[in-house]
Amino acid sequence: MSNKYHTFRKDDYFLHNEDFISWRLFQTKESEDYWNDFRARNPHLEKTLQEAIRQFDAIAINSYHLPETDKQAIYNTVLRNVSLYRRRRLIMRISWSAAVLLIGILSLLFITQMKEGNGNRMLQEDEMIVGEALPEEEIYLISAGRKINLSGNSHIGLTDDGKALVTDSTSSQKELLLAKSELNKLVVPYGKRSNLTLSDGTEVWLNSGTELDFPAEFSGKTREIHVNGEIFIEVAHNRKVPFIVHAKDMDILVQGTSFNISAYRDDSRKTVVLVEGKVKIERGSVPIAELLPNEKIDITENNILKERVDVSEYISWRKGILEFNNTPMSEILKKIARYYNVQFEGTTDIPLSKQACSGKLFLSNNLDSVMTSVSILSSTVYKRENNRILIRKKQMPMK
């Protein structure tokens, strides 16, 4: 195995960049000039930029275009929301950026199904979901008792000699020496995401609220990591050294494959979705199931359910997209809460939480843009008061 750092993948960075999104959606002369200049100054990024364009255009195939009157109404909503917590001199610049991005989000949003009883009756206004935006935390790495803070959008690449190269979104790098005698821990708090390349070349994407325990280098007859949270993983093939993922009380045995695991400590349900290859799932050394591509297994305390699925719904989060297929509002808000570090209350006991929606949501760095899109997707009214978030049913007049 060569002792080289793995390349930092920047296509995800472009897909989360608001200037890039606005350029691909509207392609004005000003944006074309800017990105032509960017390409001229950064020829080494041309390949990753092209990959980001390809991925963005693939997402945009399924588009739902709003009337201009609706776009203007959404713009006005974002303008009001942003002005509540931005300094006055920055309002116009930030608001325009948020509104342009929101229109882009909604151009990628399609509504295929909503379930909410009889739409002709007057809905009760006292049903409300309350959320609170929590203080932001940093990604950090624990190694040999040291806590090392990392910037957002950082990539960690390991080598086979116990070192790590941390590359941030500006391409600046720093080298770390990791502990070899014990597992290292990468902690990604709610509201953050990260990407790690293990010493064997295995790629791991960590979703919000995830902890990953891993060795600086693999040795012995197996390659093993421990997960609390959600990851998407592309395992480097090595038939002689099986790869094992420990997630709560289940073990996933693989050789070379890609799959998604969701096993949060505070969630009673654990999910494994296989994209490529084959995996075996065990609980306490007792085999539970084998998965083939496009199969999913849900495991709860008293039940195991295996079914065929569209895997894109379960892995799109790593590209900054959430997909819903007849998904209850409570589940949608749970995903958004983890992604943006928001705590919602009352998401299980009221009928509003049981409303089911289907669609795609392109996630941005702006919470107001996303919540406004969710309100349209779910026929609710969203309002933000500083860190407090209120979601109500939309009043529907009698016919």
Show the tokens assigned to 71. Answer: 């776009």
The residues with which 115 forms a beta bridge, in sequence order, are 356
Identify which has the larger pLDDT, 38 or 87. Answer: 38
The residues with which 20 forms a beta bridge, in sequence order, are none
CA-nearest of 123, 35, 126 to 396 is 123
What tens digit of pLDDT does each residue of 229-238 get?
A: 999 999 999 9
At residue 72, the pLDDT reads 53
Identify which has the larger pLDDT, 43 or 378. Answer: 43
What tens digit of pLDDT does each residue of 244-297 get?
A: 999 988 999 997 899 999 999 888 889 999 999 999 999 888 888 999 999 999
pLDDT exceeds cutoff 60 at 10 = no
pLDDT exceeds cutoff 80 at 209 = yes
H/E stretch holding 214 reads strand 210-214
Strand pairing class (356-362; 113-115): antiparallel
Q: Which residues contact 47 (CB under 8 A, 6 or more apart)?
A: none
At residue 361, the pLDDT reads 78
What tens digit of pLDDT does each residue of 195-207 get?
A: 999 999 999 999 9
Q: Which residues contact 190 (CB under 8 A, 6 or more apart)?
A: 134, 137, 208, 209, 337, 338, 339, 340, 341
113-134+319-393 matches 139-314 in fold: no
At residue 57, the pLDDT reads 65
Task: Break the chain into its structural domains and give their ranges.
Answer: 11-107, 113-134+319-393, 139-314
Instruction: For residue 106, give the 3-state DSSP assignment.
Output: helix
How many H helices and E strands in the chain? 10, 25
At residue 388, the pLDDT reads 81
CATH of the structural domain 139-314, one choice from 2.60.120.1440, 1.10.3720.10, 2.170.190.11, 2.60.40.3140:
2.60.120.1440
CA-nearest of 395, 392, 397 to 374 is 392
* 367 φ/ψ angles, rounded to the nearest 5 degrees: -60, -40
CA distance 161 to 218: 10
At residue 296, the pLDDT reads 95
CA distance 33 to 39: 10
* 239 φ/ψ angles, rounded to the nearest 5 degrees: -60, -30
Show the tokens assigned to 317. Answer: 């989060």
- % the chain with pLDDT above 90: 25
pLDDT exceeds cutoff 80 at 33 = yes
Confidence of residue 78 (pLDDT cuts 50, 70, 90): very low
Mean pLDDT, range 6-15, rounded to an integer: 54
What tens digit of pLDDT does each residue of 101-143 get?
A: 444 444 344 333 343 333 333 334 446 677 777 767 889 999 9
pLDDT exceeds cutoff 90 at 369 = no
At residue 91, the pLDDT reads 38
What tens digit of pLDDT does each residue of 36-59 get?
A: 999 998 888 888 888 888 776 655
CATH of domain 113-134+319-393: 3.55.50.30
pLDDT exceeds cutoff 50 at 81 = no
Instruction: For residue 187, give the 3-state DSSP assignment.
Output: strand
At residue 168, the pLDDT reads 76
At residue 206, the pLDDT reads 94
What tens digit of pLDDT does each residue of 151-203 get?
A: 777 789 998 777 888 887 667 788 888 888 889 999 999 888 899 999 999 99
